[in-house]
Amino acid sequence: MKPAAACLAAAISLTVTSGAAYCADVSRIDILGFSPDAKVFAFEEYGVQDGSGFPYSTIFVIDTVKDAYLPGTPYRVILNDDEADGALPPVSEARARSAKAAQALLETYQIAENPGFLAAFNPVSEIGPPDDEISYYTIQLDRPITGAYTLKLDQVAFSTPERCQGLSDQFGGFKLRFTQQDGKPTDATVYADTRVPESRGCVGGYRLGGVALSDTDTSLHMALVQVRSFGFEGYDLRWIAVPVRTLH
């Protein structure tokens, strides 16, 4: 059996609850920033596809009020064999092309002038923190003057579509809850899937990978969720950003 085929067979046999994923493509994330009023948020996801080895970069520009992509976005670039003269171009080339495509829109919303910050980040490689919970402060100080926030992700089961039968035994969506707000315990659902978009592929679970905040509106918390979906050689991890707001 060829390595790729063996890896595919192994991945199919895995149970999602084990958390294992072999030969997977774990995309990287770069927070690009917010508009001055925090009504627009942008980030980049990039990496090298499993199986094909194609470099890719996608820039997402999100309306944080409507929780929707801005018209004409995201900007997706994949450098495939047709563009290669021998070796495939580097990831930096894919990133440069997506940045050029998005430049005018990002300048319109002054994204580079308002980078915001990562209030919390939990990469898949880190040992210790749970995959479904993140706690953080909304101000970057070594002696916080605000109470802590805790965001919790709960996975929600949906019926598995025919296209994903045999590939995912935990197909579904997720919801997000604040279990702590400004240092006070709470239990408030601030986001819940009503369906699973086809763009997520054959989902096999989710991770709460981080939270990004703007410097101008700390009531807006961008939850950075990793989607584990079945790829060519196993489960891939891709990013989505969900705007949630604190309760007053």
* Total number of domains in the chain: 1
Query: How is 36-88 classified by DSSP, letter by letter?
Result: TTSSEEEEEEEEE-TTT--EEEEEEEEETTTTEEPTT--EEEE--GGG-BSBP
Q: Do 120 and 135 touch, CB atoms closer than 8 A?
A: yes
Q: Quick one: 14 exposed, middle or buried, by C-beta within 10 A (0-12, 13-18, 19+)?
A: middle
Q: Which domain holds residue 132?
A: 3-245
What is residue 244's predicted lDDT score, i.e. its pLDDT?
98
Mean pLDDT over 85-104 rounds to 92
Q: Mean pLDDT in the chain? A: 88
Mean pLDDT over 119-141 rounds to 94
pLDDT band with cut points at 50, 70 and 90 for residue 4 = very low
What is residue 2's predicted lDDT score, i.e. its pLDDT?
34
Mean pLDDT over 81-86 rounds to 63
pTM metric for this prediction: 0.88
What is residue 141's predicted lDDT score, i.e. its pLDDT?
85
pLDDT in tens, 48-69: 998 888 999 999 999 999 999 9
Mean pLDDT over 174-183 rounds to 97
